[in-house]
Amino acid sequence: MDEINSTEFLKRLQEGSLEAYEYLVGKLLTPLRRFLSHTMNLPEPDAEELADDVFLQVHRKIKEYKPGPAKLTTWIFQIAKNQAIDYYRKATSQPPVSHLDPAKLRTDDFQYARRNQQMLDWLLREMQKLSETDQHILLWRSRDIPYVQIAEWLGINETAARVRHKRATEKLLANGGEFR
């Protein structure tokens, strides 16, 4: 990936070189599709289509990218993440709250009419009280990322990641979380 993150390659992309885009597809298609399906939990066919759109978005926005804050590969994955967010926002249906059986609520049934908006507000409020590291641990664990991997990303050891996750969860659940 060093070549992709080089100044020379960026220049070729910004000049619209078709060969450069083909090279990008060759290198990033597999990891992007995997990220979209395994980490962002998109169904496989949708992950495939969205991966396609990511490269088109890269082409449209490449002149906005400035080296420094993040590598080009990171910037491209952020585009992929945003594409996934757009996908979910379009796909969410809004059934009335009264038609939902709370016992059967699942992630994709969440809709934010009165009660669920309260839950979201509660979550956003309580998350702010946690350290950034604890927030990151919670977010990645919710996606079943192994502790050992999270620990590596955050520069802590695995045991610390497990303990901090447990404590952060207990703290959140202890602070209210009752909704009508």
Partner 1 sequence: MEQRVVNEKDLNDLLVWATNHGYVELPLDDKVVDSVLQSTPEEISERVKNHFKSRLKERLIEEAISSARICIPWEGLPFGRYLEAVRSRAGLSREVVAARLQKTDEYLHRIERGDTSPVQLPVSEIVVILELFHIGLHAATQMLQASDRVSESKQNYRAAARSHGGVRHDIRSEDVEKALDAFARKLLKNKGKEWQSPDRAETAGFMTKVETELKKRGRSDLLG
Residues that bind partner 1 (CB under 8 A): 1, 16, 18, 21-22, 25-26, 28-31, 33-35, 39-41, 51-52, 55-56, 59-60, 70-71, 73-74, 77-78, 81-82, 84-85, 88-89, 92, 97-98, 102, 105-107, 110, 115, 119-120, 122-124, 127, 135-136, 138-143, 149, 152-153, 169, 172-173, 177-180
Closer CB to partner 1, 74 or 159, in the complex: 74
CB of 127 to partner 1, least distance (A): 7
CB 97 within 8 A of CB 115: yes
* CA–CA dist 50, 43 (Å, integer): 10
- The packing angle between helices 18-34 and 72-91, to 10°, is 60
Closer CB to partner 1, 8 or 144, in the complex: 144
Closer CB to partner 1, 110 or 159, in the complex: 110
Burial 70-109 (b: 16+ CB within 10 A, else e): eebbebbbebbeebbeebeeeeeeeeeeeebeeeeeeeee
Closer CB to partner 1, 82 or 157, in the complex: 82
CB of 26 to partner 1, least distance (A): 6
